[in-house]
Amino acid sequence: MTTPIQGFSKLSKEEKINWIADNYTDNSEATVQILKKYWNIDNGLQKLHDEFIENTISNYYLPFGIAPNFLINDKLYAIPMAIEESSVVAAASKAAKFWLDKGGFKTSVLGTEKIGQVHFIFKGSSEKLQEFIEKIKSIFINDTKSITRNMEKRGGGITSIELRDQTHKLDHYYQLHCKFETLDAMGANFINSCLEQFATTLKREAQTCALFNEDEKGIEVVMSILSNYVPECLVRAEVSCPVDDLEVEQSVSPKEFAEKMVRAVNIANVEPYRAVTHNKGIMNGIDAVVLATGNDFRAVEAGIHAYAAKDGSYRSLTHASLEDGIFKFWIEVPLALGTVGGLTSLHPLVHLALEILQKPSARELMQIVAVAGLAQNFAAVRSLVTTGIQEGHMKMHLLNILNQMSASDDEKKTLIAYFKKNAATHNAVVEALQNLRNNL
């Protein structure tokens, strides 16, 4: 059995690799080889990646693709996407092209406020606490001046500090519920620094507050942290067209197609099992752009799923309607994104992705990302209510299957041509390759 290791982080990269190869893999030589194969030949670039996290031993590649032809508020974008799932980029591109001659996507930012909280325990009179917090609000602001100065110069900063009594949920539990405008920064560091200063100020001022008795002076701060639930950092994206323009398949009339789309979205709105998959498809588009632009996709995922459940039941993030001959399809999602700070200037591909997107502000990026989610959902639901998802999926998956079976370039060419006219199920691909190899 492998024994625990002390001081792994202090080992050199080579030593770490050797240790993992010797202790956790069957063929240490092959392990070392594969890990090194993924190192960048540019030592400087490799060092940069090594230093993004701790204990780096190699790089993990994801494809970086482009979905072109996105018309968003009359401006044409080519959207970079980092994703491993076949068919996502193809689906996004198809949806972009479909809406290109129908006015494209229209978007608007509904809010940009972010939230952070100081969670604390106070055993005493809530009226006195309220009075105390009101009294020290200006001290909170003054104490954070060194953190907020630059942000304020650019028009952002702390926008509100509010005491929330949560004692009905948990004994003696209160919060400072704070709002921030962080402009083009995602703002996590800014918000957390402000919150930790608020916590220090809160404890210090309580100690000398004349309103409090000795017990009340001992405010206990539990934690200070931003919230990834950002329902007031919200963006909307929409497409619409006269129903007669919805010519998607010969087998279904435009009106029938619109009705099927609306019904499918309505199902995702009332049925959580479907809603989760429906929203997963939306996240295929959202995450891919969030990742390509160096943003925190876990934060985005957590916030968006919480938003999908805001009414007490998990629902669709997209909506569809058919009224007066007009089909409308739209999404509303919370997105806390940054286009400065973090990885945005450090990671060369992230930098490039932002350049391809014409160096967007965070507000613009929110709109682009929402569009990617909406487009992805349109493409997925379109397939689901017409041909079924497997047709397109398996075609895109074909290359993965052929690669798994070590097909040569010639074999791939022949079989891609063959599966243009035949259903590309996993078994059919395996069989066709075997037949080809046996000259059948």
- The least distance separating ligand MEV from the CB of residue 396, rounded to whole angstroms, comes to 11
- The least distance separating ligand MEV from the CB of residue 307, rounded to whole angstroms, comes to 18
Looking at 31, 148, 284, 293, which residue binds ligand MEV (CB under 6 A)?
284
Residue 280, both tokens: 């997963």
Residue count at the site for ligand MEV (CB under 6 A)? 10
Q: Whose Cβ is closer to ligand MEV: residue 115's or residue 264's?
A: 264
Q: Does 380 bind ligand MEV (CB under 6 A)?
A: yes
Of 49-88, binders to ligand MEV (CB under 6 A) are: 85
- The least distance separating ligand MEV from the CB of residue 369, rounded to whole angstroms, comes to 17
Looking at 277, 313, 345, 435, which residue binds ligand MEV (CB under 6 A)?
277
- The least distance separating ligand MEV from the CB of residue 147, rounded to whole angstroms, comes to 41
- The least distance separating ligand MEV from the CB of residue 395, rounded to whole angstroms, comes to 14
- Binding piece for ligand MEV, criterion CB under 6 A, among 28-36, 108-116, 272-280, 306-314: 272-280
- The least distance separating ligand MEV from the CB of residue 280, rounded to whole angstroms, comes to 6
Q: Does 94 bind ligand MEV (CB under 6 A)?
A: no
- The least distance separating ligand MEV from the CB of residue 271, rounded to whole angstroms, comes to 12
- Binding piece for ligand MEV, criterion CB under 6 A, among 107-115, 285-293, 362-370, 381-389: 381-389
Q: Whose Cβ is closer to ligand MEV: residue 43's or residue 390's?
A: 390
Q: Does 278 bind ligand MEV (CB under 6 A)?
A: yes
Q: Whose Cβ is closer to ligand MEV: residue 213's or residue 277's?
A: 277
Residue 205 and residue 217: Cα distance in Å, rounded? Answer: 9
Residues with catalytic annotation?
A: 85, 280, 296, 393
- Binding piece for ligand MEV, criterion CB under 6 A, among 247-255, 351-359, 367-375, 377-385: 377-385
Q: Whose Cβ is closer to ligand MEV: residue 340's or residue 384's?
A: 384
3-state secondary structure the chain: CCCCCCCHHHCCHHHHHHHHHHHHCCCHHHHHHHHHHCCCCCHHHHHHHHCCCCCCCCCCCCCEEEEEEEEECCEEEEEEEECCCCCHHHHHHHHHHHHHCCCCEEEEECCCCEEEEEEEECCCCHHHHHHHHHHHHHHHHHHCHHHHHHHHHCCCEEEEEEEEECCCCCCCEEEEEEEEECCCECCHHHHHHHHHHHHHHHHHHHHCCCCCCHHHHCCEEEEEEECCCCCCCEEEEEEEEEHHHCCCECCECHHHHHHHHHHHHHHHHHCHHHHHHHHHHHHHHHHHHHHHCCCCHHHHHHHHHHHHCCCCCCCCCEEEEEECCEEEEEEEEECCCCCECHHHCCCHHHHHHHHHCCCCCHHHHHHHHHHHHHHHHHHHHHHHHCCCHHHHHHHHHHHHHHHHCCCCHHHHHHHHHHCCCCCCCHHHHHHHHHHHHCCC
Looking at 104, 281, 338, 360, which residue binds ligand MEV (CB under 6 A)?
281
Q: Does 389 bind ligand MEV (CB under 6 A)?
A: yes
Q: Does 280 bind ligand MEV (CB under 6 A)?
A: yes
Binding residues for ligand MEV, rule: CB under 6 A, are 85, 277-278, 280-281, 284, 380-381, 384, 389
